[in-house]
Amino acid sequence: MAVSVTHRASGLLLEPLPNLDIPARRTVSHALHRIKFVGALGQWTNFKTEVANTYNSQTWNPREIASRLTANFLAGSVHEEQVFVSDERGVQGRLEGRAGIALGAVFGAQNHDLKLGASKGALPPYPGYKKAPDFVLMTSAHEAKVVGEVKVPWIREHNLRKLITEFESGAKQDNFRHVLGQIAEYMFDSRLKYGFLTTYEHTIFLRKEEVGRAWGLEYSPVIYHSDRGSTSGRTVPFCQSLYHIGLLALADSNFDTSTGMRNQKWTAPL
């Protein structure tokens, strides 16, 4: 007989994401737009501690909302990936399927009006807006609160861990700014102060901050899909992190363009 465990909202947030099933035949070109971020750029210090603090401050609903098989019964089950992923659309779908369902259930259990979905389901920033970010966290009134962008994990130009290492060492500054250009543009267009960039395997979370009188962008450490959550903040997985971002955005999601210097640049074409 199969052995299963049940999860409440608090436990479900701490679960890692399963490995993608990536076939040999897959896309081979990067998907970076010809735009780069040109504003002040720095680390989001204490990000993991903040995520843990948000988690620990919750009054969790005790209702069970999920179950999964354990031990030897896990192999070959629906709790492992059973879909080949060979392009960006596939990666987006698997993140929506795995993380989106879990987060939607947790937000619902905690009475927070947020769900993950495609940007087409949200009200546009203004009539006639043509761009289509891959993800938004949005309310039932179709109001976007957080914007997200996905890239495939197997392309060298999308390797967030490598790009951050190069940026922080001073070796290659422009490559990281290039990969941030598209999501930074979406944040500005949508006037949303929180965003995320993900390859499923690597994710960074972003927030707009004031740096002196300039608009700045802060990035989190790389969050790995295989990370299991904790109450200490030593490791935080994707779902635990995005739950934290969602609550921040519910409190204040506005990218305020009325502050700071006039005519400052946020992004620039390449």
DSSP-derived secondary structure for 212-237: TTEEEEEEPPPEETTPPP-SSSSS--
Residue 79: Cβ-neighbour burial (10 angstroms; 0-12, 13-18, 19+): middle
Q: Which amino acid is at 239?
A: C
Phi then psi for residue 84, to 5 deg, are: -70, 135
The size of the chain, in residues, is 270
CA 15 to chain centre: 15
The answer to whether residues 226 and 199 touch, using CB atoms and an 8 Å cutoff, is: no
Flag whether pLDDT at 14 surpasses 90. Answer: yes
Which pLDDT band holds residue 4 (cuts at 50, 70, 90)? Answer: confident
Is residue 29 one of the residues assigned to a domain? no
Q: How far apart are CA 41 and CA 215, in angstroms?
A: 9
Which pLDDT band holds residue 73 (cuts at 50, 70, 90)? Answer: low
Residue 40: Cβ-neighbour burial (10 angstroms; 0-12, 13-18, 19+): middle
Flag whether pLDDT at 1 surpasses 70. Answer: no
Percentage of the residues of the chain whose pLDDT score is greater than 90: 84
Is residue 50 one of the residues assigned to a domain? yes
Confidence at residue 5, expressed as pLDDT on a 0 to 100 scale:
78
Flag whether pLDDT at 36 surpasses 60. Answer: yes
Is residue 93 one of the residues assigned to a domain? yes
pTM: 0.95
Which pLDDT band holds residue 79 (cuts at 50, 70, 90)? Answer: low
With the C-alpha atoms ordered 203, 209, 211, 214, is the resulting torsion angle positive or negative? positive
Is residue 139 one of the residues assigned to a domain? yes
Is residue 147 one of the residues assigned to a domain? yes
Which pLDDT band holds residue 69 (cuts at 50, 70, 90)? Answer: low
Number of structural domains the chain divides into: 1
pLDDT, the chain, mean = 94
Flag whether pLDDT at 71 surpasses 80. Answer: no
pLDDT digits (tens, 9 = 90+) for 154-179: 999 999 999 999 999 998 889 999 99
Q: How far apart are CA 181 and CA 38, in angstroms?
A: 8
Confidence at residue 72, expressed as pLDDT on a 0 to 100 scale:
63
Consecutive H or E run containing 42: strand 40-43
- Structural domain boundaries enclosing 150: 4-24+34-269
Q: How far apart are CA 157 and CA 29, in angstroms?
A: 9
Percentage of the residues of the chain whose pLDDT score is greater than 70: 96
Q: How far apart are CA 144 and CA 115, in angstroms?
A: 10
Mean pLDDT computed over 11-24: 95
Confidence at residue 81, expressed as pLDDT on a 0 to 100 scale:
73
pLDDT digits (tens, 9 = 90+) for 178-210: 999 999 999 999 999 999 999 999 999 999 998
